[in-house]
């Protein structure tokens, strides 16, 4: 699945309001797709890059021999999911998905985002 198809698939998840593929070495969004005028996906990509970097540094300082499956940020009205990509082509990238909390199922959204990330060919 290419980037455009992955973003369209992510936006088909119930409650999705924005999706991005982000390079966390630079903080740049490689692609974005969204329906909300209030959610600037370019700003979200840069900001969530810092979240991923901070968690990776913390795991390194704790000498944790593990990897990040996903990161969940729960807001009053939204869920924000961050899923680092694995595999040789996905290194240094993450999928970002913002969801309307009232219209989404968190467990299903995580499952669907995992499937999309696994099928993504960058």
CA distances from 107 to 34, 73, 80, 113 (A): 21, 14, 13, 10
At 86 the pLDDT is: 79
At 91 the pLDDT is: 76
At 6 the pLDDT is: 94
Residue 119 has phi, psi (to 5 degrees) of -90, -10
pLDDT along the chain (122 residues), means of 10: 94 97 92 90 93 92 91 96 80 93 96 93 81
At 89 the pLDDT is: 63
pTM here? 0.92
At 122 the pLDDT is: 79
CB atoms inside a 10 Å sphere around CB 75: 10
Structure token pair of residue 76 = 């009053």
Domain 3-116 CATH (choose: 3.40.50.80, 3.40.50.300, 3.30.465.10, 3.30.450.30): 3.30.450.30
At 20 the pLDDT is: 96
At 62 the pLDDT is: 95
At 92 the pLDDT is: 86
The span from the CA of 82 to the CA of 48, in Å, is 8
């Amino acid at each position: 699945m290419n980037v455009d198809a992955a973003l369209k698939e992510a936006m088909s998840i119930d409650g999705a309001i924005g999706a991005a593929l982000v390079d966390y070495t630079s903080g740049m969004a490689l692609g974005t797709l969204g329906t909300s005028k209030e959610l600037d996906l370019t700003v979200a990509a840069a900001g969530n890059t810092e979240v991923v970097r901070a968690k990776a540094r913390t795991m390194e300082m704790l000498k944790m021999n593990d990897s990040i499956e996903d990161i969940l940020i729960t807001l009053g009205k939204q869920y924000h999911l961050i899923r680092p990509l694995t595999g040789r082509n996905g290194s240094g990238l993450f999928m970002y998905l913002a969801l309307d909390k009232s219209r989404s199922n968190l467990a299903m959204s995580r499952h669907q985002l995992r499937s999309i990330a696994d099928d993504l060919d960058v």
